[in-house]
Structure 1
Amino acid sequence: MRRLATLIALMITLSLMSALPAGAADPLLSQGKPVTASSTESIVFPASAAVDGDAGTRWSSAFADPQWIQVDLGATASISQVELSWEAAYATAFQVQVSADGGAWTTLHSTTTAAGGAQTLTVSGSGRYVRVHGTARATQWGYSLWEFKVYGTTGSTGPDPGERLLSYNKPGVASTSQHDVNCWECTPARAFDLDPASRWATSSTTGWVDPGWIYVDLGATAQISKVVLQWDPAYARSFQIQVSNDASAWTTVYTTTTGTGFKQTLNVTGTGRYVRMYGTQRAGAYGYSLWEFQVYGTGGNPTDPPAPPKDPANPPALVWSDEFNSPSGSKPDAAKWRADPGTGPNNELEYYTNHDNASMDGQGHLVMEARKQATPGSACPTDPLTGSTTCQYTSARMNTGTKFHFTYGRVEARIKVPKGNGLWPAFWMMGADFLTGRPWPYNGEIDIMEVLGKDVKTSYSTVHAPAYNGGGGVGSPYTLPSGADFSDDFHVWAANWDSKGIVYTLDGRTVFTISKDQVEQTRGPWIFDHPFYIILNLAVGGDWPGPPNAATPFPSRMLVDYVRVYQ
C-alpha cells in the first residue's frame, strides 16, 4: 500500500509538472488576477484578456508610446519567469518590471531589439505587481498581448487569508446626501450595501461644494489593508482615505490629487474603527458620489455578505429549454412563458396581444407575428404615417418572468428574423428585480440579439445599466461572414455569462466580449451578478428602427426554433 501511495504521488507530481511550460519549475501566479493598463484600444480588447488563460482573447493598447500593462499578484512573490505572447502589434523596446506598491518600479528585463511572437524570459526579482512597459512599437498600431504569464513562488497567491470585507451593511455618515427625483434615497448606507446599482451622493442643494466626505463605522477597531471605490461620474480629483478611533481625529493612510474616477482599488495600511473618504477637489460641477465604498482588512465587527452566485460548470449542463414542438396552432407553454400585453416602450407602434400573435407552426417553431391590425383604445403614440393615436399594428412579446429566473450560464436561441422597415426582433433578458419594483435601468438589461428590419445584415449585442444605457449602452454591432443577410436563414445567438463578464457568440463564433473588470474601470458599476429572465419580442416602429413604410410586409414573422439555458 505504501508503494502504491508513493507511485500515485509521483504520478500526480509528474502530471503537475507536465502542465508547466518547458523550463518553468514554478507555478503560474498571474492567471485571473486583477490587471490594469495605461489604455485599451476598445472595450473589446480589455487588459483582463491578457491574463484569462484564453489564447484567443487579447489586450490591445492605444496607438502611442509609451504604454503598459500590469498584474497584481495579490501578495509579494519571487518572480522567476515571464511569458509574453504578442499579437502582430508588438514591442521592439520594452521592460519587465516589478513593484511592491504599484508606484516604484524595478526593471528585471530590458530590450530594444525584441522580435515579437512568443517570448519566454527568465528573470529574478520580487514584488506584488509585475508590469510590461512598452517604449517603442514595432508597427503603427499599439501594443497587443494574447497572453501575459508570470511564474514564481509566494507564500500566498491571493489576499491575506484573514482579510475580509468589513464594511458591508455598516452605518455610514456623510457631509450631506441627496434625496430627490434625480437621486432617490442616495444616502450613506447605499455605499456600503454591496448593491452596485444604488449609490450615495452629496446633496444637490447644499453639498456640491468642497470638501465632501463619507465614513463608515466598522463596529470595532480594525486593521485596514484595502479600500475599493466605485465612483459615479461625480468623482473626486483630490481625496484622502483616513482612519480614526473616534470619528474625530483622523489619520491619512492614502492621498491623491490625480483621482481617475470609475473603480479604484487602493492598498493601504492603517488602524481604526472608522474609515473615511475625504474629498477636497471635485472633478466636475457636481458633488461627490459613490456606488460602492468597500473596506477590507482584519478585526472590526464584520457582517457576512450574501454568498456570490456560482459560475457555471465547465462544461455546463442543460437546465431549462423550450423546443417549441407542440402541435400547429398551440400557444406558448404556460408553465414556461407568460404573455406581456400592452404597448411597447421607445415610442413603438405595436400593441402586444395576449398570445394572439404567438403560436406553434407544427414544424418545431414558435411563430411571433406582427400584423397590420388596428387596436382601438390603446395608449399608443401617434403613427407618423396616419396621424392616428390608435395602434395600427399588433405583435407578440413573451417572457419567463415569475416562471424561470437564473444567474449565469449559457443562454441561446436559434432564430430567423424578418425583413422590412420598422421591424425590430429581439432576444434579451431583464434583471428579475424589475418585477418587484426596481426601475430600468437599475435592474440591468442584457440584449443578446437585436436586428433592425431595415438593415438585416447587422446584429447588435448590448448591456444597459444606470451608468451606461440607451445609446450609451456597452455593446457592439457585428455581421455574418461575406455580409450575408440574417433574414435568409436561422442563426444561433448566445450569451456566455459568468462572474467575469459576457461572451457573445453567433453560430458558435465569438463576436463580442464584455469584461466586468474593464467595464468597472472605464464605464461604471457592473450590475449583472443577480437573477435575470428571458424575453422574446417582435416590435414594430420605435425610436431606433423608425416606422414601417409601404414596402414593409405584413404579416411578418419571427421564427424561434428553440431557447436553451445551460449552467
Structure 2
Amino acid sequence: MRRHLRLLAAATTAAALLGLGAITQVTTASAAAEPLSQGRPVTTSSTEFDWSTGAAAVDGDPGTRWSSAAADNQWIRVDLGSVQAIDRVVLDWEAAYASGFRLETSADGAAWSTVYSTTTGTGGDQNLDVDGSGRYLRLWVTQRATQWGVSLWELQVFGTGGGTPTDTSLLSYGKQGSASSSQNDGNCWLCSPDKAFDLDPASRWAVNPDTGWVDEGWIAVDLGAAAHVTSVVLQWDPAFATAFDIEVSDNGTTWRTVHTTTGGTGFKQTIPLDADGRHVRVHLRDRSGPYGYSLWEFQVYGTGGAPAAPPAEPADPDFDDLDLVWSDEFNGPAGTGADGSKWTIDAGLPQNNEQQVYTPSGNGFQDGQGNFVLEARREDRDGRQYTSHRMNTSNKFHAQYGRFEARVKVPEGRGLWPAFWMMGSDFLDGRPWPYNGEIDIMEFIGQDPTRAHSTLHAPAYNGGGGYGGGYTLPDGSKISDGFHTWAAEWDSEGIQFSLDGRDVFYADRDTVESTRGPWVYDHEFYLILNLAVGGDWPGPPDATTPFPSRMLVDYVRVYQ
C-alpha cells in the first residue's frame, strides 16, 4: 500500500454532524460492504498539492484526501472497472466542501447521466441514495462553499456488485500485430507493431515517415482466437490521433466499428467496450500535429482469445513492515576506497557538459569517521581543470521496489552538482537513456543552497522536462549546512520522495500516464552517487567556488 501524508481530520468533526436529517442513514449491512470504488483508478480536473491526488479519496484511508485547485467546475472521476448498478454514494468532505454539485454516471466515460444534484450541500459526511448504473462515476462541483477549492477525505461508491469487479485478462500481450506502416530509422529504431503489445512502456510503434505522414493509418492485433473485448488501453506518444475508431473483426478482413471519437486527448486513454471478435484494430483518421502516429502501448482486455501470461511482477512492499536488504555504512579506515563487492567506480569524461573528470581512485575515500567522501578538486587531468568521483552498484546490487535511503551532507558553491540517484538496469544491456528510466532521489545545485530536487526521467519527459519538484527545509535554512536523509519509497503505483522523513514530492503513476507519458519504472534499477562540477543545469564554477569540495555520505540503505 502506498504511503500518503497523514492529515488530522479533527477540524471537520463538527461539520460532519451537520445536515444529516435529509440524508438517508447507512444500514449496517451496507456499511460493511467494501465500496466498488476502493482502490480503483481515478482522474481529476486538478490537484492542489502533489500529495493530494484523486487516488487518496478512494484508498479507504480517512486521513488522506484529494483537494482541487481554487476554482469552480472541478471534478473527480472513478473507474469501477465495468458497468455496475450504483445505489449509494458516500462523500466525506474536508472543511473545503461544495455547496453545489452533481453526481453523474457513464458507461463509456463520454456520455453522462445525472443521478443526483444539489445547490444546498452542507459538507461533512453525506450518504446519498442514488439510482443509476455505469462504469464511471463523476462528482462535478458547480459551486464552492469556501474561497478554496474542494477537498474530499473519501469518495465511496456502493452498489449491488458487492465489491470491486473482477478484472478480465490482458489478451494482447506478446502478439505480433500488424500496421499500415512502421518506422525504422535513427529517430525510431525497430518501431514495429509488436512493440505496442510487449508491455514495455519504453518501446513503441510508429508509422513510417518515408511514405509520408498522412491522416489515414491503422494498427491491429490478432488475439489468437475469438474473444469478448471489455476494454482497450492506448498509451500515446505525443504523435497521437484526435480522431480514431476501434474496430473488431472475426477474420481480419471485415471490420465492425465499436467505438469512435473525434476528441482524442493523447496520453493514456482507457476505452470501455462490449464487443466480440478475434482481431482488434485502431483505425486512425486525424493527426494531432504534423507528424504521424505512435503508440507506446495498445492493450486489449477481455475474455477468450489465446492470452499469454506476462512476466510476474514482484509484490508491492508494505512500507510499514520492511527489512534491510542492502546497505553500506562506510565504517572503514580513513583513506580506504569504496567496498568493491558493493560499488563499481566510474572513471572518465562525463556527460551533460560537466567539466570534471571522474578518476578511478583518489577522489573517493572513507574518512574514518563513518562517512564516504566524494571530493571535487581543481586540478588538471585529461584536458580538464577539475576531478571528482562517481560510483554505482551496477552488476553488484539491483532492485525493483522498496525504500532507498541515504544520509548525505552536500557542498555549497557555484557549479557543484551532487546527486543520489538510480538508473534502469537495462541501460547495462544497451538500452539508451532515457528509455531505461532514471529516478533522481536527490539533486542539489550548489549556488541554490536552500533547495533540493527529486525528479523522474523517461522517453516522453526528461532533461529540463523531467517530472519532479524542488523543495526546501521547513525553516528555509541552508540544506548544505548539515546532514540530511533523502529517501524514495517506490512501488507499482508511484514513488514517494521524502527529506528527513517529511514527504516532499509524490509521483503518482496514474497522473504521470495521463499527463506526461509512459511509466517506465517497473523493472530493476541500480544506485549511483556522484559529485559533478559544472554542467547544463548548474553552469560552470567560478572564483567563489570552494575547492576541494566534499559530498559526505553517512550511509546508503535499501529496505524491501
Give the structure-1-normalised TM-score.
0.90
Residue 155 of structure 1, CA deviation: 5.0
1:347-367 residue CA offsets vs partner (Å, 9 max, x unmatched): 001111113211111111111
Of the three residues 202, 205, 209, the one matched with 2:207 is: 202
CA distance in 2, matches of 1:334, 1:170: 43
CA distance in 1, matches of 2:150, 2:28: 24
Q: Which piece of structure 1 moves more, 400-409 or 351-360? A: 351-360
1:187 is matched with 192
CA distance in 1, matches of 2:233, 2:369: 54
* SS of structure 2 residue aligned to 1:483: coil
Evaluate the alpha carbon distance shift between residue 321 and residue 257 of structure 1 in structure 2; reply closer, same or farther with a 3 A threshold.
same
2:371 is matched with 365
Of the three residues 144, 151, 154, the one matched with 2:151 is: 144
Residue 321, structure 1, aligned to residue 313, structure 2 = no
2:389 is matched with 396
1:299 is matched with 304
CA distance in 2, matches of 1:410, 1:263: 28
Q: Which piece of structure 1 moves more, 428-437 or 67-76? A: 67-76
Residue 131 of structure 1, CA deviation: 1.9
2:33 is matched with 26
The 8 Å contact of residues 82 and 149 in structure 1, kept in 2 or not, is answered as yes
Q: Which piece of structure 1 moves more, 425-434 or 221-230? A: 221-230
CA distance in 2, matches of 1:216, 1:77: 29
CA distance in 2, matches of 1:234, 1:88: 42
1:15 is matched with none
Evaluate the alpha carbon distance shift between residue 54 and residue 21 of structure 1 in structure 2; reply closer, same or farther with a 3 A threshold.
farther
* SS of structure 1 residue aligned to 2:109: coil
1:205-256 residue CA offsets vs partner (Å, 9 max, x unmatched): 2141021100011111211111110001111111000011222110001111
The 8 Å contact of residues 27 and 152 in structure 1, kept in 2 or not, is answered as no
Residue 57 of structure 1, CA deviation: 4.5
Residue 420, structure 1, aligned to residue 413, structure 2 = yes
Residue 449, structure 1, aligned to residue 442, structure 2 = yes
CA distance in 1, matches of 2:118, 2:516: 35
2:317 is matched with 312
1:52 is matched with 59
Alignment-mate amino acid for residue 214 of structure 2: V
Residue 150 of structure 1, CA deviation: 2.5
2:139 is matched with 132
* SS of structure 2 residue aligned to 1:190: helix
2:286 is matched with 281
Residue 35 of structure 1, CA deviation: 1.3
1:9 is matched with none
Evaluate the alpha carbon distance shift between residue 201 and residue 43 of structure 1 in structure 2; reply closer, same or farther with a 3 A threshold.
farther
2:126 is matched with 120
Residue 81 of structure 1, CA deviation: 4.1
1:115-170 residue CA offsets vs partner (Å, 9 max, x unmatched): 43x3231324342322211111234443333332234441552235xx21111111
Evaluate the alpha carbon distance shift between residue 58 and residue 287 of structure 1 in structure 2; reply closer, same or farther with a 3 A threshold.
farther
CA distance in 2, matches of 1:482, 1:33: 37
The 8 Å contact of residues 29 and 157 in structure 1, kept in 2 or not, is answered as yes
Residue 272, structure 1, aligned to residue 277, structure 2 = yes
CA distance in 1, matches of 2:67, 2:118: 20
1:74 is matched with 81
The 8 Å contact of residues 79 and 123 in structure 1, kept in 2 or not, is answered as no
CA distance in 2, matches of 1:428, 1:535: 5
Residue 237, structure 1, aligned to residue 234, structure 2 = no
Give unpaired runs (5+ residues) of structure 2: 1-26
Residue 398 of structure 1, CA deviation: 0.4
1:330 is matched with 336
Alignment-mate amino acid for residue 137 of structure 1: R
Of the three residues 335, 342, 345, the one matched with 1:339 is: 345
1:338-391 residue CA offsets vs partner (Å, 9 max, x unmatched): 101112211001111113211111111111111111103xxxxxxxxxxxxx11
1:552 is matched with 545
CA distance in 2, matches of 1:76, 1:178: 38
Alignment-mate amino acid for residue 485 of structure 2: V
CA distance in 2, matches of 1:518, 1:237: 20
CA distance in 1, matches of 2:404, 2:449: 22
* Matching of residues 451-466 of structure 1 within 5 Å: 451-466=444-459
The 8 Å contact of residues 71 and 129 in structure 1, kept in 2 or not, is answered as yes
CA distance in 2, matches of 1:514, 1:21: 37
Evaluate the alpha carbon distance shift between residue 245 and residue 76 of structure 1 in structure 2; reply closer, same or farther with a 3 A threshold.
closer
Q: Which piece of structure 1 moves more, 21-30 or 298-307? A: 21-30
Of the three residues 223, 229, 232, the one matched with 1:227 is: 232
CA distance in 2, matches of 1:354, 1:535: 15
CA distance in 2, matches of 1:342, 1:226: 50
1:35 is matched with 42
Residue 475, structure 1, aligned to residue 465, structure 2 = no
Residue 536, structure 1, aligned to residue 542, structure 2 = no
Evaluate the alpha carbon distance shift between residue 269 and residue 75 of structure 1 in structure 2; reply closer, same or farther with a 3 A threshold.
closer
Residue 563, structure 1, aligned to residue 553, structure 2 = no
Residue 546 of structure 1, CA deviation: 1.1
Give unpaired runs (5+ residues) of structure 1: 1-19, 377-389
* SS of structure 1 residue aligned to 2:504: strand
CA distance in 1, matches of 2:79, 2:30: 23
Residue 203 of structure 1, CA deviation: 1.1
* SS of structure 1 residue aligned to 2:238: coil
Evaluate the alpha carbon distance shift between residue 482 and residue 401 of structure 1 in structure 2; reply closer, same or farther with a 3 A threshold.
same
1:526 is matched with 519
Alignment-mate amino acid for residue 30 of structure 1: S
Evaluate the alpha carbon distance shift between residue 63 and residue 281 of structure 1 in structure 2; reply closer, same or farther with a 3 A threshold.
farther
The 8 Å contact of residues 33 and 162 in structure 2, kept in 1 or not, is answered as no
Alignment-mate amino acid for residue 374 of structure 2: M
1:154 is matched with 161
Evaluate the alpha carbon distance shift between residue 447 and residue 155 of structure 1 in structure 2; reply closer, same or farther with a 3 A threshold.
same
The 8 Å contact of residues 75 and 156 in structure 1, kept in 2 or not, is answered as no
1:86 is matched with 93
CA distance in 1, matches of 2:157, 2:280: 34
Alignment-mate amino acid for residue 392 of structure 1: Q
Residue 22 of structure 1, CA deviation: 11
Evaluate the alpha carbon distance shift between residue 35 and residue 273 of structure 1 in structure 2; reply closer, same or farther with a 3 A threshold.
same
Residue 77 of structure 1, CA deviation: 4.0
Evaluate the alpha carbon distance shift between residue 81 and residue 156 of structure 1 in structure 2; reply closer, same or farther with a 3 A threshold.
closer
CA distance in 1, matches of 2:378, 2:63: 46
Residue 38 of structure 1, CA deviation: 3.2
Alignment-mate amino acid for residue 55 of structure 2: S
Residue 309 of structure 1, CA deviation: 2.5
- Alignment coverage as a number of residue pairs: 532
* SS of structure 1 residue aligned to 2:200: coil
1:98 is matched with 105
2:509 is matched with 516
